[in-house]
Amino acid sequence: MSSEFLHHLAIGFCMMLVLEGIIPFLYPQRWRNLVQQLSLVDNRTLRIMGLASMVLGTVILYLIN
């Protein structure tokens, strides 16, 4: 792996952490309620949601590059 690739990967990871932290920072109680609701969702549904998110992210990444 080239160092440029690793640099871009690190930037993407850091951006993900920033974006993932916005909602808990701004609305901690809403975030807590959402996490409680997610704990009630069955594993199959969570896996489908995760797969859909990965596919959507891949498609968007493909389209913008």
Write down the domain spans for the chain. 3-64
Q: Which of 44, 46, 53, 52 is nearest to 16 (CA)?
A: 53
Query: What number is the average pLDDT over the span 14-42?
Result: 95
The overall pTM is greater than 0.75: no
What digits encode the pLDDT tens for the residues 29-59? 999 999 999 999 999 999 999 999 999 999 9
